[in-house]
Amino acid sequence: PDGIDSITNGTGVLGDRKQVNTVRNSAGSYLIDRTRGKGIFTYDAANGTELPGTLWLDVDHQLDGLLDGAAVDAHHYAGLTFDYFKTVHDRNSYDGQGAAIVSTVHYGKAYNNAFWSGSQMVYGDGDGEKFLPLSGSLDVIAHELTHAVTESTAGLIYWNDAGAINESMSDIFGVLIEHAYSETPDWQIGEDVYTPKVEGDALRSLADPTLKGLPDHYTKRYLGLEDFGGVHINSSISNKAAYLLANGGTHYNVKVEGIGIEKTGKIFYRTLTQYLTPTTKFRQLQAASVQAATDLYGADSQEVTSVKAAFAAVGLK
């Protein structure tokens, strides 16, 4: 639809007020953000499963209805995720070419999932017990959009080690992007929308994966076939390494000197986009991360020493 670029006030899933970039005409305000790359477009599946559904239109230019929150957050947080990759890593959208970013909200009925479909992001509303609408959490949206970055670069297949590393990259950048824009950043995933009736829990913790019974060492990895060979389970091994690299600590008697979250982001971005391949295994991830840190900071740097220690602490090399 044609119209003028404008800014519309809205209320997110958690009742927080924010502004979104829209296109406005006589019909109303569309969730189209033409200020970023080839645009950010948010759609409504209206609790069906047709994708992408209908382009979101608000007729009174006030995105403050109960159903609007999921769309407001999907649109706003996609914009922040775009900004992170552009300003921190000089990457123009997930493909580096300004690709249009498409999201659909209100997918399915009480659907407790969010996913990258291979061409767009998709968010369920949750059932109100396990999840609130899943686009209500910046780290979740950043996780999903990082799947698109991974697909455009390393292409890590969604199975066994490569799939766990794929998942881990999404969790790590979910945390990095939350730290870039949230006033209450943490090393957990999904806490803002997970189990609204239970305080203090999350979908996963990178700081302590064992809180959800997930492995924090390579010797504890899952070897079964569930979850595509444990992609949401073994991701915790490199998630823990990333936590240690940024924050430092001693893990299974291995001491890691923290290097901070910015340098951690630089190293994992270079690792993901320059060295990982569709079939990378965990030991190769360690080598790739050491190489990326060497490229960035030099072979004798503290950063390289800390990368080696962080991976050694989780049993890699």
Ligand X SMILES: CCC(=O)Oc1c(C)cccc1C(=O)O
Catalytic residues: 144, 232
Chain residues 190-249 in contact with Zn ion, contact rule CB under 5 A: none
* Of 280, 285, 255, the residue nearest 268 (C-alpha): 285
Q: How many residues bind Zn ion (CB under 5 A)?
A: 1
- Which entry of ligand X, Zn ion, Ca ion, none binds 33, CB below 5 to 8 A by partner kind? none
Q: Does 190 bind ligand X (CB under 6 A)?
A: yes
Q: Which is nearer to Zn ion, 116 or 297 (CB)?
A: 116
Is there binding between residue 137 and Zn ion (CB under 5 A)?
no
Q: Which of 169, 143, 309, 282 is nearest to 220 (CA)?
A: 282
Whether 266 contacts 277, CB under 8 Å: no
Q: Which of these segments, 38-46, 73-81, 169-177, 288-296, binds Zn ion (CB under 5 A)?
A: 169-177
Please say which residue, 94 or 297, places its beta carbon nearer to ligand X: 94
d(CA 150, CA 143): 11
Minimum gap (Å) between residue 197 Cβ and Ca ion: 7
Quick one: which H or E segment has residue 216?
Answer: none
Q: Please, how many CA atoms are within 13 Å of residue 291, restricted to the half-sphere of its CB?
A: 13
**114 near ligand X, rule: CB under 6 A:** yes
User: Binding partner of residue 114 among Zn ion, Ca ion, ligand X, none, CB under 5 to 8 Å per kind?
Assistant: ligand X
242 Cβ contact list (under 8 Å, min separation 6): 168, 172, 175, 206, 264, 268, 310
Interaction of residue 183 with Ca ion, rule CB under 5 A: no
Q: Which residues ranging from 192 to 221 are in contact with ligand X (CB under 6 A)?
A: 203
Indicate whether 189 belongs to the interface with ligand X (CB under 6 A).
Answer: yes
- How far is Cα 76 from Cα 11, in angstroms, rounded to an integer? 11
Chain contacts with ligand X (rule: CB under 6 A): 113-115, 140, 143-144, 167, 189-190, 203
